Amino acid sequence: MVAPPPEITPEFQRGWDAALLAVRDWHESQAKKTLIQARRSRFPKNLEREAEVHQKSAEMIGILSPDDV
């Protein structure tokens, strides 16, 4: 038998929102850090692509819901 999915409580939702905010902030800071490294690098294209991945990840984090995991 499959158990019914757990109910999403307000406390869980606050934790979920805080976790998403932390992950989004981390990805944004990684993108900025990587772009700075790209400016100082002799071969910046790879670092620019990495920064773009972090930026896209930061943008996509907002569409996740607890049902996705």
What is the CA 53 to chain-centroid distance, rounded? 10
Q: Give the angle 45-21-55 at the CA atoms, nearest 5°.
A: 15
Instruction: Return the C-alpha torsion angle 61, 65, 67, 69, nearest 10.
Output: 30
- pTM for the whole structure: 0.81
57 pLDDT more than 70 = yes
Segment 5-54, tens digit of pLDDT: 678 889 999 999 999 999 999 999 999 999 999 999 988 999 999 999 99
